[in-house]
Amino acid sequence: MATPKSKSVFDIVKSRELNSFQVRKRPNMDGWADAFYEIGAIATQHDSEDIVPLALSYAKTTKYSHILALSNEEGFISLFDTSRKFPSPTCYERNAEQSRICEWSSHNNAVFDVNWIKDDTQILTASGDQTVKVWDVQEQKCLVVLVGHLGSVKSICSHPTNSDILVSGSRDGSFRLWDLRCNSTVKNRRGEGSICSIADVKGAHDPSQAQRVRRCKSKGASMSITSVLWLKDQVSIATSGAADSVLKFWDTRNLRSTVTQTCPQPCSTGKQRLHGISSLSQDDSGVLLSASCMDSRVYLYNILQLEKGPLRYFEGGRIDSFFVKAAISPDASNIVCGSSNGKAYVWQVNKPQVEPTILKSHDEEVTAVDWSRSDIGKLATASDDFTIRIWNKRNYCTTQKIPFAIRRRIMAMPKVECKMLLNNEEIYPKSIDDGLLSDVALHNPIKSAMPTTPPKITTSESHENQLSSELDLTISPKNTPESALKSPSSVLNPPSSLKRTIRDYFASSS
């Protein structure tokens, strides 16, 4: 058998010139920027016994943004450090032991919601024992108990700028407002002081009698408030119920009636089935609000255009219970929602037509979800499989400062400053105090006089306009009387004459 003759370099080059060769294709980069990968998994246990998790909440400040609070159906609160590396991807118990910061028993019943306040020095817990407790995180000590609800407290939310003011929603159909500055006069058996609410609205989502009989098994289930949210305008509250998909908005300065309400526009074919809402969330700008509905959709609303209904909706998962929650990311780029099929779904807000990213590591119903406030793209999901899983967004764009990967905009100097620099003249006016100029400005006047990076926008109005333009939302910059009557934007940036004391806010509702 004749051995094949080896080709020389010249033969290979000749063959390429005449016959060409197959070029290796580049990998497809589409979707990499919105892919999520699992960082680690933590077991939800107490004394080596599995406990079902109910609520998750990342700390709000940048300093403690890596700390995740977990509540469960046995009434325990656990804090985990999610910044640590998880060396054992399958040993969830070991990961929990290494990342757990502390744990304590907060209630003798299930804790349905947790919320950080006071620069992450205190935590609120809403429980099935019909109370809300305020805890000192450092000492794991109860500071005060909020009493007054006649049903399980399902949701709790603090004021955007004043953590002493709270709102809670209960299964008894009411939401109540609290002021932690009130003195507690009564103490329970444990010696914990208690205070009562300063205002309340009963039957906020009470359906009609016919609907109550047909759709719900009990009176409590029909009138239950599932979620409360204090909006960024500081005076408006959004509430949702278990009876239908109606969102109601209230002005805390006058709680006698709602400011407005909205719901998805149903189809007009036949009888429409009523679906409750399991959770509400709002982005940091305060413009967008997401609502996870029992029709297995997550609806997105514009706070300033509620009369138009939802902007869009996202679907793909299954929401079969009110324990399944959804949350919009702080930067309003993504929405994550749990699912009853053991998965979590992440959608791009600006690209609703794109298929969602599916997080598949859980084995049972995925319930609570939450985003990190500082680590953009980092989120946590909890499941009935007794685990918490930490995820992060995969970004194929390198963040390292490689010379060939950096592009800078070079700006030409004005002719006057250029002449002054060549003649060794002083560019800055003599009236400016030398102490206000840094060393960088003195040694590099070009860089300090003309910054290449735009300044950060800190005003909420600018952020709202910028976000609205990205979403192709037509928000009118003028405040007309008609828009003031139809939307809770009527209480956005109220006049200083209306912002008095907290007692004046609720005087009209008493």
How many Å apart are CA 252 and CA 255, to the nearest integer? 6
Q: What is the DSSP string of 224-263?
A: -EEEEEE-TTSSEEEEEESS-S-EEEEETTEEEEEEEEE-
Asked if residue 434 and residue 344 are part of one domain, the reply reads no
CB atoms within 10 A of CB 158: 21
Mean of the per-residue pLDDT values of the chain: 77
Asked if residue 307 and residue 443 are part of one domain, the reply reads no
Q: Is residue 494 part of a domain?
A: no
How many Å apart are CA 92 and CA 391, to the nearest integer? 15
Q: Is residue 79 part of a domain?
A: yes
Looking at the chain, how many residues does it have? 510
Q: Taking Cα atoms as reference points, which of 192, 113, 127, 188 lies closest to residue 155?
A: 113
Q: How remote is the C-alpha of 369 from its chain's centroid?
A: 9
pTM: 0.72
pLDDT of residue 138: 94
Asked if residue 262 and residue 371 are part of one domain, the reply reads yes
Number of domains within the chain: 2
How far, in Å, are 85, 228, 235, 391 from residue 102 at the CA level?
18, 28, 35, 22
Percentage of residues in the chain with pLDDT exceeding 90?
55
Question: Residue 176 above 60 pLDDT?
Answer: yes
- Overall average pLDDT of the 260-275 stretch: 70
CA triple 297-298-299, angle to 5 deg: 110
How many Å apart are CA 69 and CA 73, to the nearest integer? 14
Asked if residue 332 and residue 431 are part of one domain, the reply reads no
Q: Which residue has the higher pLDDT, 477 or 143?
A: 143
Q: Is residue 182 part of a domain?
A: yes
CATH number at residue 332: 2.130.10.10
Asked if residue 348 and residue 421 are part of one domain, the reply reads no
Q: Is residue 304 part of a domain?
A: yes
Asked if residue 317 and residue 269 are part of one domain, the reply reads yes
Q: Is residue 25 part of a domain?
A: no
Asked if residue 295 and residue 427 are part of one domain, the reply reads no
Question: Residue 70 above 70 pLDDT?
Answer: yes
How many Å apart are CA 468 and CA 438, to the nearest integer? 37
Q: Is residue 89 part of a domain?
A: yes
Asked if residue 178 and residue 287 are part of one domain, the reply reads yes
pLDDT of residue 189: 76
Asked if residue 444 and residue 325 are part of one domain, the reply reads no
Q: Is residue 489 part of a domain?
A: no
Asked if residue 427 and residue 333 are part of one domain, the reply reads no
Contact (CB, 8 A) for 309 and 288 = no
Q: Is residue 399 part of a domain?
A: no
Question: Residue 85 above 50 pLDDT?
Answer: yes
How many Å apart are CA 115 and CA 358, to the nearest integer? 27
> What's the domain range around 416?
410-449
Asked if residue 356 and residue 218 are part of one domain, the reply reads yes
Q: Which residue has the higher pLDDT, 496 or 145?
A: 145
For 406-462, what is each residue's pLDDT tens digit? 344 445 555 555 555 545 555 444 443 443 333 433 333 333 333 333 333 333 444
Q: Taking Cα atoms as reference points, which of 509, 510, 505 lies closest to residue 234?
A: 505
